[in-house]
Structure 1
């Protein structure tokens, strides 16, 4: 599998085997290419795969490679790192490098960038919410009593909190804390999925942020059952969102989806090193966000600390 260059004969074989309903892995093994190469080839064009059309498309894109382009080696490396490693969207990259996002799409389409469909954000991520299995409780201060200024995102220090699981029934999880105004995201390791582990994480967060942690908005997951103890020891009030209302913690929901680009469902969080978790925190907070007028969460959060 040392090359990814497909010949017309290879494409004919792909068309034949694909129409015979063979799996992508079967075709990859048969031709000696990676499954990703076959996947990208089958999805080269919209609709049913045809070898002749695919070969023509390949030759057209190949002819474009000889034309003058602003895609330098350094720019190519930068774009590939931002999308493949740091999990940026094409729109985020386009804003930073000051190039139309359609240009980057064209470079990907012309195979000038080493980026596949599977490298793009949200590819294959299902929007359907998973069934709740954590267990819940019904006490606590309702979000209805939360001050309006928190909902308006006009003041800093108001966080949303949640738990992100590995997809396995046992093992570690991570707690995510998202500041509503800046979207600063803090990801902490949880040794378990219980209230004791979450309480420890929140107390640690309160110690780190001090007066810059003013409120927490959470759901009724059982990991927040120690809310009375948390409020007593930190002085930070907890507000509970309504059941089945993830939009009331929209920042958390959005950042959790981005986090899933780094920790996909099914990956054991126990296998993620502390250094890797620190790196993920940095990647989450150093990316420009459109909702922040293309500033980064860490930039906005630190600015608010100074004023």
Structure 2
């Protein structure tokens, strides 16, 4: 049962009964309170104070009750801030270094709300497109539906080698880069391309796939844009299944969309001219994300998980 503090009315009644000379047991029975509770008030009144004085004293004491705001040491704050500046999230910092952060993950976010940490470029909030927005970009007439993927790979969610892909467009929509994300390891691949046409995308993917043995990767899932219309030749030559999400359904490639957002916020904003960025720079930006631990990977980095599958396959 939760204890209820004495109200101001009860304090006034206790003071009146005490002045009339009533016994503590009688007052306690009349108010339905414990005798010790009444005794504490009466003892205070007998020192020459009033019920009002007792209530003011109570309010001062009550301010000292309850949980106090968490205070981190300067070493902890500096440690957390240094990792935030490397684009680590608060939950990843706590999960990766549980012994170096003394408070809980939820408390870390409360401290961030209080302004203890400095963090800009937070993730998107709200909807990016209005409800009912129609997709006006070109779409392929023939493509392999994403539902075929479930039939072809019953254990799709547990297998290594399935990618989600897309292009991110640069300044004035005149340049682009290809992004791929492997679903199990969440490793991000960023590829340079000479243009946005289908033959440019095909050539870049072809150059990347030739670096790996055939049958290592099983499938790729793209959106249905025309830039991926040369998918058949890639699928046949490299023995990899290529599927396409439904138009206007980015959630069917949610991991890739999320990864594109990470790249946008941490190195490739929308005003980027990809014609002026080399493959080395693209790879460096992707590698930065691939070397940050992720909670969904049990605080391993995507690169660690990706390479672990290569060890299993005896490729490294």
Contact kept? 2:150, 2:156, Cα under 8 Å: no
Q: Would you say the 8 A contact 1:87–1:261 is kept in 2?
A: no
From 146, 152, 169, give the equivalent of 1:143: 146
Any stretches of 5+ residues in structure 1 without a counterpart? 1-63
1:127 counterpart residue number: 128
Q: Please, what is the CA RMSD of the aligned residues?
A: 2.9
How do residues 218-237 of structure 1 correspond to structure 2 at under 5 angstroms? 218-237=222-241
Q: Over residues 140-171 of structure 1, what are the superposed CA-to-partner deviations in whole Å (9 max), with x where a residue is unaligned?
A: 2222221454664211111111111125221x
- Aligned partner of 1:289 in structure 2 is 294
**Greater CA drift, 242-251 or 153-162:** 242-251
Report the counterpart of residue 161 of structure 1 in structure 2: 165
Quote the offset at 1:226 in angstroms: 0.5
1:241 partnered with 2:242: no
The equivalent of 2:88 in structure 1 is 88
2:214 corresponds to 1:206: no
Q: Distance in 2 between matches of 1:95 and 1:180?
A: 21
Label 1:289 to 1:135 Cα distance change in 2 as closer, same or farther (>3 A).
same
What TM-score do the two structures reach when normalised by structure 2? 0.65
How high is the TM-score relative to the length of structure 1?
0.67
Match of 2:157, SS state, is: coil
**8 Å contact kept, 1:163–1:176:** yes
Highest Rg: 1 or 2? Answer: 2
- Structure 1 position 183 matched with structure 2 position 182: no
Match of 1:20 in 2: none
Equivalences, count: 236
| Structure-2 change in CA distance of 1:290 and 1:69 (3 Å) | closer
The unaligned stretches of length 5 or more in structure 2 are 1-67
Superposed CA deviations along residues 98-154 of structure 1, whole A, max 9, x for unmatched, are 2333444455456554x14xx153157863389756522121222222145466421
| 1:198 shift after superposition | 0.9
**Change beyond 3 A, Cα 1:231–1:110:** closer
Identify which of 286, 296, 300 aligns with 2:305.
300
Compare 103-112 and 226-235 and name the one that shifted more. Answer: 103-112
Tell me the secondary structure at the aligned position of residue 166 of structure 2: strand
Larger deviation, residues 250-259 vs 289-298? 289-298
SS of equivalent to 1:250: helix
Q: How far did 1:177 drift? A: 0.7
